């Protein structure tokens, strides 16, 4: 795990803060059942972290804490923040600043897209940042190009395939130039070409990424590090190949060893 400091030639200097720092985060919804239990982790700048685990493990709930999406429990200014992103403590008073740092892509595009056309949807974030009309247009064009949807500006968001709708969501997020990308099941319901295209986009994104996914093969291709979350607790945290080739550990948490890490059988 990242320590936040490293030894230089002659002295120990503090590194720039990690992209994400979570300290002792616990959470339960109204029912009282503990969904996250004392989560502590940090994600370095530029690091690609996969979050895997069975359904109901708490992955989406953890991701939502990174963007202040669970407002009922956001700490006030006087309280300690369990989550810090890009150096900004996630609190009631900092939510808009946090959302400038963190771009969040929901699992279901219906939760994200709400404008009639692709152009309007992608423009929404940059307009909220107060950018000039020309800058907004430039960002729309650039981000649609990045996700392979150049020329889709006037299309209705309702008349696109799921994969295209997901890419519009990502374009809207990229157009805001976030420092950190948080993606919930980005590969679900994508065909192989769309999955490869998304993989390319994520590889090119320079900032930190946290990706909750069941697509374990893509984790091996794409990510530096993986966390297994189960029952709201971190059960393993380490380099992808090391963690995901541990057959016993993987089976304990209802996962499967990726094909490319399986030992030759027979
Ligand atoms: P995962 O993303 O790993 O599938 P979730 O974070 O969606 O897990 O859910 C973790 C647990 O929290 C599950 O038991 C789920 O039923 C519960 N849960 C999720 N959202 C809510 C909610 N809005 N209200 C009450 N319980 C919820």
Provide the terminal-to-terminal Cα distance of the chain, rounded to the nearest Å.
Answer: 36
Q: Is residue 4 part of a domain?
A: no
Q: Is residue 264 part of a domain?
A: no
Q: Where are the beta strands (DSSP E) in the chain?
A: 5-7, 12-14, 20-28, 34-43, 48-52, 83-85, 88-89, 102-105, 180-184, 208-212, 225-230, 233-239
Residue 71's pLDDT band (boundaries 50, 70, 90)? confident
Q: Please tell me the distance from the alpha carbon of residue 146 to that of residue 198, in angstroms, as a whole number.
A: 10
115 lines ligand 1 (CB under 6 A): no
58 lines ligand 1 (CB under 6 A): yes
107 lines ligand 1 (CB under 6 A): no
Residue-number span of the structural domain to which 73 is assigned:
15-258
CA-closest residue to ligand 1 atom 23: 29
Write out pLDDT tens, residues 123-156: 999 999 999 999 999 999 999 999 999 999 999 9
Phi, psi for 92 (deg, rounded to 5): -50, -45
Q: Is residue 94 part of a domain?
A: yes
* Spacing, Cα 58 to ligand 1 middle (Å): 6
pTM over 0.75: yes
190 lines ligand 1 (CB under 6 A): no
Specify the pLDDT at position 2: 41
Q: Is residue 265 part of a domain?
A: no
Q: Is residue 205 part of a domain?
A: yes
Specify whether the CB–CB gap between 23 and 29 falls below 8 A: no
* Residue 193, Cβ density class (10 Å: 0-12 exposed, 13-18 middle, ≥19 buried): exposed
37 lines ligand 1 (CB under 6 A): no
Residue 195's pLDDT band (boundaries 50, 70, 90)? confident
Residue 17's pLDDT band (boundaries 50, 70, 90)? confident
Which CATH number covers residue 154? Answer: 3.40.50.300
Q: Is residue 46 part of a domain?
A: yes
If one compares 161 and 10, the residue with the highest pLDDT of the two is 161
Q: Which atom of ligand 1 is nearest the CA belonging to 184?
A: 2
Question: Is the model's pLDDT at 217 over the cut of 50?
Answer: yes
Q: Please tell me the distance from the alpha carbon of residue 112 to that of residue 103, in angstroms, as a whole number.
A: 12
Q: Domain count for the chain, please give it.
A: 1
CA-closest residue to ligand 1 atom 16: 56
Write out pLDDT tens, residues 160-176: 998 899 999 999 999 99
Q: Is residue 242 part of a domain?
A: yes
Specify the pLDDT at position 70: 87
Question: Is the model's pLDDT at 113 over the cut of 50?
Answer: yes
* Spacing, Cα 232 to ligand 1 middle (Å): 10
- What string of DSSP letters covers 76-143? -TTSPPSEEETTEE--GGGHHHHHHHEEEE-SSGGGT--SSBHHHHHHHHHHHTT--HHHHHHHHHHH
Question: Is the model's pLDDT at 260 over the cut of 60?
Answer: yes
61 lines ligand 1 (CB under 6 A): yes
Q: Is residue 1 part of a domain?
A: no
Question: Which of 25, 26, 35, 71 gets mutated to test ligand 1 (max ligand atoms within 8 A of its CB)?
Answer: 35
């Amino acid at each position: 795990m990242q320590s936040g400091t490293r030894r230089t030639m002659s002295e120990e200097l503090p590194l720039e803060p990690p992209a994400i720092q979570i300290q002792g985060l616990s959470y339960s919804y109204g029912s009282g059942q503990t969904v996250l239990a004392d989560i502590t982790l940090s994600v370095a700048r530029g690091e690609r972290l996969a979050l895997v685990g069975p359904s109901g493990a708490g992955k989406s709930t953890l991701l939502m804490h990174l963007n202040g999406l669970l407002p009922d429990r956001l700490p006030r200014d006087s309280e300690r923040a369990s989550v810090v992103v890009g150096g900004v403590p996630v609190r009631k008073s900092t939510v808009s600043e946090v959302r400038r740092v963190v771009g969040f892509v929901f699992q279901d595009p219906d939760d994200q897209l709400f404008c009639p056309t692709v152009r309007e949807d992608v423009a929404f974030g940059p307009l909220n940042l107060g950018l000039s009309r020309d800058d907004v247009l430039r960002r729309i064009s650039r981000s649609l190009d990045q996700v392979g949807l150049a020329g889709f500006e006037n299309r209705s968001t309702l008349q696109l395939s799921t994969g295209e709708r997901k890419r519009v969501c990502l374009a809207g997020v990229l157009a805001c130039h976030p420092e950190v990308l948080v993606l919930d099941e980005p590969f679900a319901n994508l065909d192989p070409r769309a999955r490869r295209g998304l993989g390319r986009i994520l590889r090119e994104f320079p900032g930190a990424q946290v990706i909750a996914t069941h697509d374990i093969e893509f984790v091996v291709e794409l990510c530096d590090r993986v966390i297994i979350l189960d029952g709201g607790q971190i059960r393993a945290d380490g380099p992808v190949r090391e963690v995901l080739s541990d057959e016993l550990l993987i089976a304990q948490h209802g996962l499967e060893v990726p094909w490319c890490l399986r030992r030759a059988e027979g």
